[in-house]
Protein backbone atom coordinates (compact mmCIF):
# COMPACT_ATOMS: atom_id res chain seq x y z
CA UNK A 1 0.00 0.00 0.00
CA UNK A 2 1.86 3.04 1.26
CA UNK A 3 5.56 3.56 0.96
CA UNK A 4 5.14 6.97 2.56
CA UNK A 5 3.21 8.30 5.54
CA UNK A 6 -0.34 8.99 4.26
CA UNK A 7 -0.79 11.80 6.76
CA UNK A 8 1.68 14.12 5.04
CA UNK A 9 2.69 14.95 1.49
CA UNK A 10 6.09 13.45 0.65
CA UNK A 11 8.84 15.51 -0.98
CA UNK A 12 8.12 13.79 -4.28
CA UNK A 13 6.24 14.70 -7.46
CA UNK A 14 2.45 14.55 -7.43
CA UNK A 15 -0.17 15.29 -10.10
CA UNK A 16 -3.58 16.89 -10.17
CA UNK A 17 -5.88 13.89 -10.40
CA UNK A 18 -8.11 13.51 -13.46
CA UNK A 19 -10.65 10.66 -13.57
CA UNK A 20 -9.47 9.66 -17.05
CA UNK A 21 -6.11 8.66 -15.50
CA UNK A 22 -7.61 6.44 -12.77
CA UNK A 23 -6.54 3.10 -14.23
CA UNK A 24 -3.18 4.48 -15.43
CA UNK A 25 -2.29 5.74 -11.97
CA UNK A 26 -3.15 2.47 -10.26
CA UNK A 27 -1.17 0.57 -12.94
CA UNK A 28 1.86 2.90 -12.61
CA UNK A 29 1.86 3.83 -8.91
CA UNK A 30 5.59 4.60 -8.78
CA UNK A 31 5.20 7.53 -11.18
CA UNK A 32 3.86 9.85 -8.48
CA UNK A 33 4.16 10.03 -4.72
CA UNK A 34 0.81 11.70 -4.01
CA UNK A 35 -2.28 13.16 -5.70
CA UNK A 36 -4.18 16.43 -5.47
CA UNK A 37 -7.92 16.85 -6.07
CA UNK A 38 -10.10 19.94 -6.33
CA UNK A 39 -12.32 19.88 -3.27
CA UNK A 40 -15.40 21.09 -5.15
CA UNK A 41 -15.39 18.07 -7.48
CA UNK A 42 -15.87 15.74 -4.50
CA UNK A 43 -18.79 17.44 -2.80
CA UNK A 44 -21.52 15.33 -4.35
CA UNK A 45 -23.41 12.86 -2.19
CA UNK A 46 -21.93 9.68 -3.65
CA UNK A 47 -21.30 7.77 -6.85
CA UNK A 48 -18.10 7.22 -8.76
CA UNK A 49 -16.17 10.39 -7.79
CA UNK A 50 -16.21 9.61 -4.08
CA UNK A 51 -15.65 5.87 -4.61
CA UNK A 52 -12.59 6.56 -6.80
CA UNK A 53 -11.20 9.07 -4.34
CA UNK A 54 -11.61 6.62 -1.48
CA UNK A 55 -9.82 3.92 -3.50
CA UNK A 56 -6.97 6.29 -4.43
CA UNK A 57 -6.60 7.34 -0.81
CA UNK A 58 -5.74 3.71 0.00
CA UNK A 59 -2.65 4.06 -2.19
CA UNK A 60 -1.58 7.69 -2.09
CA UNK A 61 -1.45 10.64 0.30
CA UNK A 62 -4.10 13.08 -0.94
CA UNK A 63 -3.99 16.86 -1.04
CA UNK A 64 -7.41 18.56 -1.06
CA UNK A 65 -7.13 21.83 -2.96
CA UNK A 66 -10.09 24.20 -2.73
CA UNK A 67 -10.95 26.52 -5.59
CA UNK A 68 -14.24 27.99 -4.36
CA UNK A 69 -13.95 29.28 -0.78
CA UNK A 70 -13.30 32.92 -1.76
CA UNK A 71 -10.94 33.59 1.13
CA UNK A 72 -10.15 37.01 -0.32
CA UNK A 73 -13.84 37.96 -0.57
CA UNK A 74 -15.23 41.13 1.00
CA UNK A 75 -18.20 39.30 2.48
CA UNK A 76 -18.21 36.57 5.12
CA UNK A 77 -17.10 33.08 4.14
CA UNK A 78 -19.89 30.86 2.78
CA UNK A 79 -20.71 28.80 5.88
CA UNK A 80 -22.41 26.09 3.81
CA UNK A 81 -19.29 25.70 1.73
CA UNK A 82 -17.04 25.68 4.76
CA UNK A 83 -19.25 22.93 6.25
CA UNK A 84 -18.89 20.92 3.01
CA UNK A 85 -15.10 21.27 3.21
CA UNK A 86 -15.20 20.16 6.82
CA UNK A 87 -17.27 17.11 5.87
CA UNK A 88 -14.90 16.19 3.04
CA UNK A 89 -11.81 16.58 5.23
CA UNK A 90 -13.40 14.59 8.07
CA UNK A 91 -14.32 11.80 5.65
CA UNK A 92 -11.00 11.67 3.78
CA UNK A 93 -8.51 12.91 6.38
CA UNK A 94 -6.27 14.27 3.61
CA UNK A 95 -2.56 14.90 4.02
CA UNK A 96 -3.04 18.57 3.19
CA UNK A 97 -5.69 21.23 2.60
CA UNK A 98 -4.93 24.33 0.55
CA UNK A 99 -6.79 27.31 -0.90
CA UNK A 100 -5.98 30.52 -2.77
CA UNK A 101 -5.19 34.12 -1.99
CA UNK A 102 -8.09 35.20 -4.20
CA UNK A 103 -11.82 35.75 -4.24
CA UNK A 104 -14.46 34.10 -6.40
CA UNK A 105 -17.84 34.94 -4.88
CA UNK A 106 -19.65 38.23 -4.53
CA UNK A 107 -23.07 38.50 -2.98
CA UNK A 108 -24.73 35.24 -3.86
CA UNK A 109 -22.97 34.89 -7.22
CA UNK A 110 -20.03 32.52 -7.69
CA UNK A 111 -17.79 33.70 -10.53
CA UNK A 112 -15.73 30.50 -11.05
CA UNK A 113 -12.38 32.26 -11.34
CA UNK A 114 -9.60 33.16 -8.90
CA UNK A 115 -9.90 36.94 -8.78
CA UNK A 116 -7.26 39.35 -7.48
CA UNK A 117 -7.34 41.65 -4.47
CA UNK A 118 -5.30 44.68 -3.50
CA UNK A 119 -2.74 44.19 -0.75
CA UNK A 120 -3.63 46.69 1.94
CA UNK A 121 -3.99 46.82 5.71
CA UNK A 122 -7.73 46.25 5.30
CA UNK A 123 -7.48 43.21 3.04
CA UNK A 124 -4.75 41.75 5.24
CA UNK A 125 -7.02 41.82 8.29
CA UNK A 126 -9.93 40.35 6.36
CA UNK A 127 -7.95 37.52 4.77
CA UNK A 128 -6.29 36.70 8.10
CA UNK A 129 -9.72 36.49 9.76
CA UNK A 130 -10.96 34.16 7.03
CA UNK A 131 -7.88 31.92 7.34
CA UNK A 132 -8.40 31.74 11.12
CA UNK A 133 -12.01 30.74 10.52
CA UNK A 134 -11.03 28.01 8.03
CA UNK A 135 -8.31 26.59 10.26
CA UNK A 136 -10.66 26.59 13.26
CA UNK A 137 -13.45 24.87 11.29
CA UNK A 138 -11.20 22.22 9.74
CA UNK A 139 -9.08 21.74 12.84
CA UNK A 140 -5.94 21.80 10.74
CA UNK A 141 -3.32 24.15 9.36
CA UNK A 142 -4.01 25.21 5.79
CA UNK A 143 -1.71 26.24 2.97
CA UNK A 144 -2.45 29.46 1.08
CA UNK A 145 -1.43 29.73 -2.59
CA UNK A 146 0.05 32.79 -4.28
CA UNK A 147 -2.14 33.88 -7.24
CA UNK A 148 -1.36 34.45 -10.89
CA UNK A 149 -1.97 38.13 -11.67
CA UNK A 150 -2.85 39.86 -14.91
CA UNK A 151 -3.05 43.39 -13.53
CA UNK A 152 -2.09 45.41 -10.46
CA UNK A 153 -4.08 47.54 -8.00
CA UNK A 154 -3.14 51.18 -7.69
CA UNK A 155 -4.25 50.89 -4.03
CA UNK A 156 -1.82 48.14 -3.01
CA UNK A 157 0.61 49.18 -0.29
CA UNK A 158 2.21 45.78 0.37
CA UNK A 159 4.28 43.54 -1.87
CA UNK A 160 2.71 40.12 -2.35
CA UNK A 161 5.60 38.36 -0.60
CA UNK A 162 5.37 40.67 2.43
CA UNK A 163 1.58 40.26 2.48
CA UNK A 164 1.90 36.45 2.48
CA UNK A 165 4.64 36.54 5.12
CA UNK A 166 2.47 38.67 7.39
CA UNK A 167 -0.51 36.31 6.87
CA UNK A 168 1.59 33.32 7.96
CA UNK A 169 2.79 35.29 10.99
CA UNK A 170 -0.74 36.27 12.03
CA UNK A 171 -2.53 32.98 11.33
CA UNK A 172 0.14 30.29 11.45
CA UNK A 173 -0.98 29.10 8.03
CA UNK A 174 1.49 27.57 5.61
CA UNK A 175 2.03 28.57 1.99
CA UNK A 176 1.65 26.80 -1.30
CA UNK A 177 4.20 28.33 -3.66
CA UNK A 178 3.06 28.13 -7.27
CA UNK A 179 6.24 28.76 -9.25
CA UNK A 180 4.38 29.10 -12.54
CA UNK A 181 2.14 31.73 -10.94
CA UNK A 182 5.29 33.59 -9.84
CA UNK A 183 6.61 33.57 -13.39
CA UNK A 184 3.24 34.57 -14.88
CA UNK A 185 2.62 37.38 -12.36
CA UNK A 186 6.15 38.76 -12.48
CA UNK A 187 6.15 38.81 -16.29
CA UNK A 188 2.70 40.41 -16.40
CA UNK A 189 3.50 43.03 -13.77
CA UNK A 190 7.01 43.84 -14.98
CA UNK A 191 8.72 42.41 -11.88
CA UNK A 192 11.60 40.00 -11.41
CA UNK A 193 10.50 36.40 -10.78
CA UNK A 194 13.92 35.66 -9.26
CA UNK A 195 13.58 38.55 -6.80
CA UNK A 196 10.09 37.29 -5.87
CA UNK A 197 11.45 33.82 -5.08
CA UNK A 198 14.35 35.35 -3.14
CA UNK A 199 11.89 37.40 -1.04
CA UNK A 200 9.39 34.58 -0.47
CA UNK A 201 8.88 33.45 3.15
CA UNK A 202 10.15 29.95 2.35
CA UNK A 203 10.02 28.77 5.98
CA UNK A 204 6.22 28.50 5.59
CA UNK A 205 6.16 26.62 2.26
CA UNK A 206 4.58 23.16 2.42
CA UNK A 207 3.98 22.45 -1.26
CA UNK A 208 5.00 23.65 -4.70
CA UNK A 209 2.81 23.90 -7.80
CA UNK A 210 3.90 23.86 -11.43
CA UNK A 211 1.65 24.29 -14.45
CA UNK A 212 1.67 25.43 -18.04
CA UNK A 213 0.83 28.94 -19.29
CA UNK A 214 -0.12 30.52 -22.61
CA UNK A 215 1.59 33.57 -24.13
CA UNK A 216 -0.33 36.63 -25.27
CA UNK A 217 0.27 40.40 -25.29
CA UNK A 218 -1.70 43.37 -23.98
CA UNK A 219 -2.84 46.36 -26.06
CA UNK A 220 0.58 48.01 -25.70
CA UNK A 221 2.40 44.90 -26.90
CA UNK A 222 3.67 44.06 -23.40
CA UNK A 223 3.76 40.32 -22.65
CA UNK A 224 0.62 38.90 -21.08
CA UNK A 225 0.95 35.33 -19.83
CA UNK A 226 -2.22 33.37 -19.12
CA UNK A 227 -2.22 30.73 -16.37
CA UNK A 228 -4.03 28.16 -18.53
CA UNK A 229 -2.89 24.82 -17.04
CA UNK A 230 -3.31 23.52 -20.56
CA UNK A 231 0.22 22.57 -21.61
CA UNK A 232 3.63 21.43 -20.35
CA UNK A 233 5.51 23.53 -17.79
CA UNK A 234 7.61 26.17 -19.59
CA UNK A 235 11.42 25.96 -19.49
CA UNK A 236 11.95 29.25 -17.60
CA UNK A 237 9.58 27.94 -14.91
CA UNK A 238 11.71 24.80 -14.51
CA UNK A 239 14.75 27.06 -14.12
CA UNK A 240 12.90 29.11 -11.52
CA UNK A 241 12.00 25.85 -9.73
CA UNK A 242 15.71 25.08 -9.26
CA UNK A 243 16.20 28.48 -7.63
CA UNK A 244 13.15 27.86 -5.45
CA UNK A 245 14.24 24.39 -4.31
CA UNK A 246 17.69 25.72 -3.44
CA UNK A 247 15.92 27.89 -0.86
CA UNK A 248 13.13 25.56 0.31
CA UNK A 249 14.92 22.22 0.19
CA UNK A 250 13.01 19.10 -0.92
CA UNK A 251 9.26 19.73 -1.30
CA UNK A 252 6.13 18.00 -2.59
CA UNK A 253 5.85 19.27 -6.18
CA UNK A 254 2.54 19.15 -8.04
CA UNK A 255 2.09 19.12 -11.81
CA UNK A 256 -1.23 20.83 -12.66
CA UNK A 257 -2.72 20.11 -16.08
CA UNK A 258 -6.44 20.92 -16.08
CA UNK A 259 -7.29 21.75 -19.70
CA UNK A 260 -6.50 19.74 -22.84
CA UNK A 261 -5.53 17.00 -20.39
CA UNK A 262 -2.92 14.72 -22.01
CA UNK A 263 -2.54 10.96 -21.92
CA UNK A 264 -0.91 9.60 -18.78
CA UNK A 265 2.64 9.14 -20.17
CA UNK A 266 2.87 12.87 -20.94
CA UNK A 267 1.84 13.79 -17.41
CA UNK A 268 4.11 11.11 -15.92
CA UNK A 269 7.01 12.59 -17.90
CA UNK A 270 6.36 16.01 -16.33
CA UNK A 271 6.36 14.34 -12.92
CA UNK A 272 9.68 12.67 -13.78
CA UNK A 273 11.11 16.09 -14.67
CA UNK A 274 10.06 17.35 -11.23
CA UNK A 275 11.73 14.30 -9.64
CA UNK A 276 14.94 15.17 -11.48
CA UNK A 277 14.74 18.71 -10.11
CA UNK A 278 14.40 17.31 -6.57
CA UNK A 279 17.51 15.19 -7.16
CA UNK A 280 19.44 18.25 -8.37
CA UNK A 281 18.99 20.20 -5.14
CA UNK A 282 22.44 21.30 -3.94
CA UNK A 283 23.42 19.70 -0.65
CA UNK B 1 -20.75 50.10 -3.45
CA UNK B 2 -17.58 48.12 -2.77
CA UNK B 3 -14.58 47.43 -4.96
CA UNK B 4 -15.53 43.78 -5.47
CA UNK B 5 -19.09 44.79 -6.36
CA UNK B 6 -17.76 46.90 -9.24
CA UNK B 7 -15.25 44.22 -10.24
CA UNK B 8 -17.92 41.49 -10.28
CA UNK B 9 -20.43 43.64 -12.15
CA UNK B 10 -17.87 44.51 -14.84
CA UNK B 11 -16.89 40.85 -15.19
CA UNK B 12 -20.40 39.85 -16.19
CA UNK B 13 -21.19 42.94 -18.29
CA UNK B 14 -18.69 43.28 -21.14
CA UNK B 15 -19.98 46.77 -22.07
CA UNK B 16 -19.37 48.10 -18.56
CA UNK B 17 -16.19 50.12 -18.02
CA UNK B 18 -13.20 48.47 -16.36
CA UNK B 19 -13.23 49.44 -12.66
CA UNK B 20 -10.92 52.27 -11.64
CA UNK B 21 -7.68 51.47 -9.87
CA UNK B 22 -6.78 48.38 -11.95
CA UNK B 23 -3.55 49.12 -13.74
CA UNK B 24 -0.95 47.82 -16.17
CA UNK B 25 2.73 47.70 -15.12
CA UNK B 26 3.16 51.25 -16.45
CA UNK B 27 0.29 52.53 -14.29
CA UNK B 28 -2.15 52.95 -17.19
CA UNK B 29 -5.69 51.60 -16.74
CA UNK B 30 -5.87 47.87 -17.43
CA UNK B 31 -8.28 46.99 -20.23
CA UNK B 32 -7.18 43.90 -22.13
CA UNK B 33 -5.77 42.57 -18.85
CA UNK B 34 -9.18 42.88 -17.21
CA UNK B 35 -10.62 41.03 -20.20
CA UNK B 36 -8.56 37.97 -19.17
CA UNK B 37 -10.74 37.69 -16.08
CA UNK B 38 -13.90 38.38 -18.09
CA UNK B 39 -12.91 35.66 -20.50
CA UNK B 40 -12.02 33.18 -17.72
CA UNK B 41 -15.43 33.62 -16.12
CA UNK B 42 -17.49 33.35 -19.30
CA UNK B 43 -15.49 30.50 -20.85
CA UNK B 44 -15.27 28.41 -17.70
CA UNK B 45 -19.00 28.68 -17.03
CA UNK B 46 -19.88 28.01 -20.65
CA UNK B 47 -17.63 24.93 -20.58
CA UNK B 48 -19.33 23.72 -17.41
CA UNK B 49 -22.65 23.91 -19.27
CA UNK B 50 -21.21 22.18 -22.35
CA UNK B 51 -20.00 19.34 -20.13
CA UNK B 52 -23.36 18.98 -18.40
CA UNK B 53 -25.58 19.25 -21.49
CA UNK B 54 -23.76 17.50 -24.37
CA UNK B 55 -26.86 16.38 -26.27
CA UNK B 56 -28.60 19.73 -25.87
CA UNK B 57 -25.45 21.28 -27.33
CA UNK B 58 -25.28 18.77 -30.16
CA UNK B 59 -28.91 19.44 -31.11
CA UNK B 60 -28.34 23.17 -31.56
CA UNK B 61 -24.68 23.18 -32.60
CA UNK B 62 -21.66 24.68 -30.84
CA UNK B 63 -22.19 28.25 -32.00
CA UNK B 64 -25.85 28.42 -30.94
CA UNK B 65 -25.10 26.71 -27.62
CA UNK B 66 -22.28 29.10 -26.77
CA UNK B 67 -24.39 32.13 -27.60
CA UNK B 68 -27.24 30.76 -25.47
CA UNK B 69 -24.81 29.87 -22.65
CA UNK B 70 -23.40 33.41 -22.76
CA UNK B 71 -26.87 34.86 -22.18
CA UNK B 72 -27.76 32.23 -19.60
CA UNK B 73 -24.64 32.66 -17.48
CA UNK B 74 -25.22 36.41 -17.24
CA UNK B 75 -28.88 35.94 -16.29
CA UNK B 76 -28.12 33.00 -13.98
CA UNK B 77 -24.59 33.18 -12.57
CA UNK B 78 -23.83 30.23 -10.28
CA UNK B 79 -25.17 30.40 -6.72
CA UNK B 80 -22.79 27.68 -5.55
CA UNK B 81 -19.07 26.94 -6.03
CA UNK B 82 -20.06 23.41 -7.13
CA UNK B 83 -19.95 23.28 -10.91
CA UNK B 84 -21.64 19.87 -10.70
CA UNK B 85 -24.90 21.67 -9.91
CA UNK B 86 -24.48 24.65 -12.24
CA UNK B 87 -27.09 24.91 -14.96
CA UNK B 88 -30.11 23.47 -13.14
CA UNK B 89 -32.09 26.50 -14.37
CA UNK B 90 -31.05 25.97 -18.01
CA UNK B 91 -34.13 23.89 -18.99
CA UNK B 92 -36.46 26.63 -17.71
CA UNK B 93 -34.32 29.26 -19.45
CA UNK B 94 -34.65 27.35 -22.73
CA UNK B 95 -38.45 27.30 -22.33
CA UNK B 96 -38.43 31.08 -22.51
CA UNK B 97 -35.65 31.40 -25.09
CA UNK B 98 -37.35 32.48 -28.33
CA UNK B 99 -34.49 31.48 -30.69
CA UNK B 100 -34.93 27.84 -29.53
CA UNK B 101 -38.73 27.84 -30.05
CA UNK B 102 -38.40 25.76 -33.23
CA UNK B 103 -37.09 22.87 -31.10
CA UNK B 104 -39.98 22.42 -28.63
CA UNK B 105 -38.35 19.29 -27.13
CA UNK B 106 -35.03 21.01 -26.38
CA UNK B 107 -35.82 22.02 -22.80
CA UNK B 108 -36.96 18.49 -21.95
CA UNK B 109 -33.72 17.08 -23.38
CA UNK B 110 -31.90 19.48 -21.05
CA UNK B 111 -34.12 18.24 -18.18
CA UNK B 112 -33.16 14.68 -19.03
CA UNK B 113 -29.46 15.59 -19.03
CA UNK B 114 -29.84 17.48 -15.78
CA UNK B 115 -31.49 14.40 -14.22
CA UNK B 116 -28.67 12.15 -15.49
CA UNK B 117 -26.10 14.44 -13.88
CA UNK B 118 -28.05 14.59 -10.60
CA UNK B 119 -28.22 10.81 -10.59
CA UNK B 120 -24.47 10.48 -11.18
CA UNK B 121 -23.65 12.48 -8.03
CA UNK B 122 -26.47 11.15 -5.82
CA UNK B 123 -25.85 9.15 -2.66
CA UNK B 124 -25.14 5.43 -2.81
CA UNK B 125 -27.88 3.27 -1.29
CA UNK B 126 -28.59 -0.45 -0.81
CA UNK B 127 -30.78 -1.92 -3.52
CA UNK B 128 -34.30 -3.02 -2.60
CA UNK B 129 -34.64 -6.78 -2.19
CA UNK B 130 -37.95 -7.91 -3.78
CA UNK B 131 -37.59 -11.16 -1.83
CA UNK B 132 -38.47 -9.20 1.30
CA UNK B 133 -42.03 -8.88 -0.04
CA UNK B 134 -42.74 -12.61 0.25
CA UNK B 135 -42.93 -12.30 4.02
CA UNK B 136 -45.75 -9.74 3.80
CA UNK B 137 -49.48 -10.49 4.02
CA UNK B 138 -51.77 -9.19 1.25
CA UNK B 139 -52.94 -6.46 3.62
CA UNK B 140 -49.38 -5.39 4.38
CA UNK B 141 -48.56 -5.36 0.67
CA UNK B 142 -51.47 -3.00 -0.05
CA UNK B 143 -50.24 -0.45 2.49
CA UNK B 144 -46.57 -0.81 1.60
CA UNK B 145 -44.54 2.31 0.81
CA UNK B 146 -41.60 1.82 -1.53
CA UNK B 147 -38.64 4.24 -1.65
CA UNK B 148 -36.90 5.48 -4.76
CA UNK B 149 -33.11 5.23 -4.51
CA UNK B 150 -31.40 8.62 -4.14
CA UNK B 151 -30.05 8.28 -7.70
CA UNK B 152 -33.45 7.49 -9.26
CA UNK B 153 -35.14 10.14 -11.39
CA UNK B 154 -38.29 10.24 -13.51
CA UNK B 155 -38.44 12.68 -16.43
CA UNK B 156 -41.72 12.99 -18.33
CA UNK B 157 -42.18 14.80 -21.60
CA UNK B 158 -44.74 15.38 -24.31
CA UNK B 159 -41.90 14.61 -26.75
CA UNK B 160 -39.94 11.43 -27.56
CA UNK B 161 -36.99 12.59 -25.45
CA UNK B 162 -35.34 9.20 -24.97
CA UNK B 163 -35.44 8.58 -28.72
CA UNK B 164 -33.88 11.96 -29.44
CA UNK B 165 -31.32 11.66 -26.62
CA UNK B 166 -30.34 8.13 -27.65
CA UNK B 167 -29.94 9.02 -31.32
CA UNK B 168 -27.50 11.73 -30.24
CA UNK B 169 -25.51 9.67 -27.78
CA UNK B 170 -24.77 6.51 -29.70
CA UNK B 171 -27.88 4.50 -28.79
CA UNK B 172 -31.36 3.85 -30.12
CA UNK B 173 -34.87 4.12 -28.69
CA UNK B 174 -38.36 4.57 -30.14
CA UNK B 175 -38.80 8.02 -31.69
CA UNK B 176 -42.52 8.70 -31.27
CA UNK B 177 -45.10 9.94 -28.84
CA UNK B 178 -44.75 11.41 -25.39
CA UNK B 179 -42.08 9.61 -23.41
CA UNK B 180 -41.40 9.06 -19.72
CA UNK B 181 -37.86 8.12 -18.79
CA UNK B 182 -36.84 6.37 -15.60
CA UNK B 183 -33.19 6.94 -14.67
CA UNK B 184 -31.54 4.51 -12.30
CA UNK B 185 -27.96 4.04 -11.16
CA UNK B 186 -27.39 0.47 -10.03
CA UNK B 187 -23.60 1.03 -9.98
CA UNK B 188 -21.90 4.27 -10.93
CA UNK B 189 -23.38 4.92 -14.38
CA UNK B 190 -26.91 6.33 -14.64
CA UNK B 191 -29.02 4.43 -17.17
CA UNK B 192 -32.28 5.63 -18.79
CA UNK B 193 -35.24 3.28 -19.24
CA UNK B 194 -38.41 3.94 -21.22
CA UNK B 195 -41.68 3.53 -19.27
CA UNK B 196 -45.18 3.41 -20.69
CA UNK B 197 -47.32 6.34 -19.62
CA UNK B 198 -49.34 4.04 -17.32
CA UNK B 199 -46.13 2.73 -15.72
CA UNK B 200 -44.85 6.27 -15.30
CA UNK B 201 -48.07 7.32 -13.57
CA UNK B 202 -47.61 4.50 -11.06
CA UNK B 203 -43.88 5.14 -10.60
CA UNK B 204 -44.53 8.85 -10.03
CA UNK B 205 -47.20 8.05 -7.43
CA UNK B 206 -44.98 5.53 -5.63
CA UNK B 207 -42.01 7.95 -5.60
CA UNK B 208 -44.34 10.61 -4.16
CA UNK B 209 -45.16 8.30 -1.24
CA UNK B 210 -48.33 6.50 -2.34
CA UNK B 211 -48.94 2.94 -1.14
CA UNK B 212 -49.17 0.15 -3.69
CA UNK B 213 -52.96 0.22 -3.35
CA UNK B 214 -53.09 3.99 -3.83
CA UNK B 215 -50.69 3.96 -6.78
CA UNK B 216 -52.61 1.61 -9.06
CA UNK B 217 -55.99 0.00 -9.53
CA UNK B 218 -54.89 -2.24 -12.38
CA UNK B 219 -52.91 -5.20 -11.01
CA UNK B 220 -51.32 -6.13 -14.33
CA UNK B 221 -49.88 -2.65 -14.86
CA UNK B 222 -48.77 -2.48 -11.24
CA UNK B 223 -47.01 -5.84 -11.55
CA UNK B 224 -45.27 -4.77 -14.76
CA UNK B 225 -44.21 -1.48 -13.21
CA UNK B 226 -42.85 -3.12 -10.07
CA UNK B 227 -40.96 -5.62 -12.22
CA UNK B 228 -39.37 -2.70 -14.06
CA UNK B 229 -38.51 -0.85 -10.82
CA UNK B 230 -37.00 -3.99 -9.28
CA UNK B 231 -34.95 -5.02 -12.31
CA UNK B 232 -33.52 -1.55 -12.92
CA UNK B 233 -32.52 -0.95 -9.30
CA UNK B 234 -34.85 2.03 -8.97
CA UNK B 235 -35.75 1.30 -5.35
CA UNK B 236 -33.83 1.23 -2.11
CA UNK B 237 -34.51 -0.49 1.19
CA UNK B 238 -36.51 1.73 3.47
CA UNK B 239 -34.53 2.49 6.56
CA UNK B 240 -37.53 3.67 8.56
CA UNK B 241 -40.94 1.92 8.72
B188 → closest Cβ in A43, A48, A81 = A48
pLDDT tens-digit series, residues A130-159: 999 999 999 999 999 999 999 999 999 999
Which value does ipTM take for this structure? 0.95
> Which of B4, B48, B191 to mutate to test binding with chain A, by most A CBs within 10 Å of its CB?
B4
- How would you write B190-213 as a 3-class SS string? CEEEEECHHHHHHHHHHHCCCEHH
% of residues, chain A, pLDDT over 70: 99
Residue at B116 is within a domain:
no
Q: Provide the domain count of chain B.
A: 2
pLDDT tens-digit series, residues B122-158: 999 999 999 999 999 999 998 999 999 999 999 999 9
A73 → closest Cβ in B4, B30, B185 = B4
Mark yes or no for CB contact B22/A154 under 8 Å. yes
**pLDDT for residue B22:** 96
Residue of B nearest to A38 (CA): B82
Same domain, B138 and B240: yes
Residue at B81 is within a domain:
yes
Task: Judge contact between A128 and A171, C-beta under 8 A.
Answer: yes
Same domain, B70 and B13: yes
Mark yes or no for CB contact A47/B81 under 8 Å. no
B183 vs A contacts (CB less than 8 Å): none
Residue at B11 is within a domain:
yes
Residue at B4 is within a domain:
yes
Residue at B112 is within a domain:
no
- Does residue A69 sit at the B interface (CB-CB below 8 Å)? yes
The three-class DSSP label of residue B146 is coil
Residue B155, domain CATH? 3.90.930
Mark yes or no for CB contact B32/A224 under 8 Å. yes
Average pLDDT value for chain A: 96
Same domain, B143 and B239: yes
B120 → closest Cβ in A47, A110, A150 = A47
**pLDDT for residue A4:** 60
**pLDDT for residue A3:** 54
The yes-or-no verdict on residue A2 having pLDDT over 60 is no
pLDDT tens-digit series, residues B3-47: 999 999 999 998 999 999 999 999 999 999 999 999 999 999 999
Same domain, B74 and B35: yes
B5 vs A contacts (CB less than 8 Å): 74, 106-107
Average confidence (pLDDT) over B208-223: 93
Which residues 101-120 of A have a C-beta within 8 angstroms of B? 103-113, 115-118
Residue of B nearest to A226 (CA): B36
B30 → closest Cβ in A51, A78, A151 = A151
Chain A: nearest CA to B115, how far in angstroms? 14
- Does residue A40 sit at the B interface (CB-CB below 8 Å)? yes
Of residues A103, A111, A77, A40, the one with CA closest to residue B78? A111
Quickly name the fold that domain A13-279 has.
TIM Barrel (3.20.20)
- How would you write A156-182 as a 3-class SS string? CCCCHHHHHHHHHHHHCCEEEEEHHHH
Which residues 226-245 of A have a C-beta within 8 angstroms of B? 226
**pLDDT for residue B1:** 76
B25 → closest Cβ in A104, A107, A190 = A190
The yes-or-no verdict on residue A221 having pLDDT over 70 is yes
Residue at B111 is within a domain:
no
Same domain, B138 and B229: yes
Residue B241 confidence class, pLDDT cut points 50, 70, 90: very low
Same domain, B148 and B226: yes
Mark yes or no for CB contact A47/B78 under 8 Å. no
The yes-or-no verdict on residue A26 having pLDDT over 90 is yes
B233 vs A contacts (CB less than 8 Å): none
pLDDT tens-digit series, residues B179-202: 999 999 999 999 999 999 999 999
Average confidence (pLDDT) over A94-107: 97
**What are the structural domain ranges in chain A?**
13-279
The yes-or-no verdict on residue A236 having pLDDT over 70 is yes
Residue A10 confidence class, pLDDT cut points 50, 70, 90: very high
Range of the domain at B205: 124-241
Same domain, B144 and B223: yes
The yes-or-no verdict on residue B240 having pLDDT over 60 is no
Residue at B93 is within a domain:
yes
Task: Judge contact between B141 and B104, C-beta under 8 A.
Answer: no
Q: What is the 8-class DSSP label of residue B186? A: S
**pLDDT for residue A186:** 98
Same domain, B163 and B209: yes
A110 → closest Cβ in B32, B40, B81 = B81
Same domain, B130 and B186: yes
B40 vs A contacts (CB less than 8 Å): 112-113
A82 vs B contacts (CB less than 8 Å): none
**pLDDT for residue B14:** 87
> Which of A19, A50, A106 to mutate to test binding with chain B, by most B CBs within 10 Å of its CB?
A106
Average confidence (pLDDT) over B74-92: 97
More confident of the two residues B238 and A17 = A17
Which H or E element spans position B236? strand B235-236
pLDDT tens-digit series, residues A246-264: 999 999 999 999 999 999 9
- Does residue A68 sit at the B interface (CB-CB below 8 Å)? yes
Average confidence (pLDDT) over A81-109: 97
- Does residue A73 sit at the B interface (CB-CB below 8 Å)? yes
Same domain, B153 and B234: yes
Same domain, B132 and B234: yes
Amino acid sequence: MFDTDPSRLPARPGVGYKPRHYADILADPGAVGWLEVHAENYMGDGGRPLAQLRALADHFPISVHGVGLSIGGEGPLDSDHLARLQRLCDWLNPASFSEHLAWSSHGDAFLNDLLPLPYTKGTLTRVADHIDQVQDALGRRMLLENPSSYLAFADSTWSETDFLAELTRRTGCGLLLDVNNVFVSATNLGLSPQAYIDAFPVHAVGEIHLGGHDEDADETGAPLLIDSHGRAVADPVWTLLDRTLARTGPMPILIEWDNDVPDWPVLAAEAARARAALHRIPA
Amino acid sequence: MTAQYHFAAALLQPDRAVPRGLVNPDGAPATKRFDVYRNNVAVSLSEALETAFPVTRRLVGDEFFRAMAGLFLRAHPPRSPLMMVYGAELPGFIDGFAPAASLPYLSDIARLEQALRDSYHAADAPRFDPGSLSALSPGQLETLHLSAAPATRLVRSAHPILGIWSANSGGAAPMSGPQSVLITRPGFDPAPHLLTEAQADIAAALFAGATLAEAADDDATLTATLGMLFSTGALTQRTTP
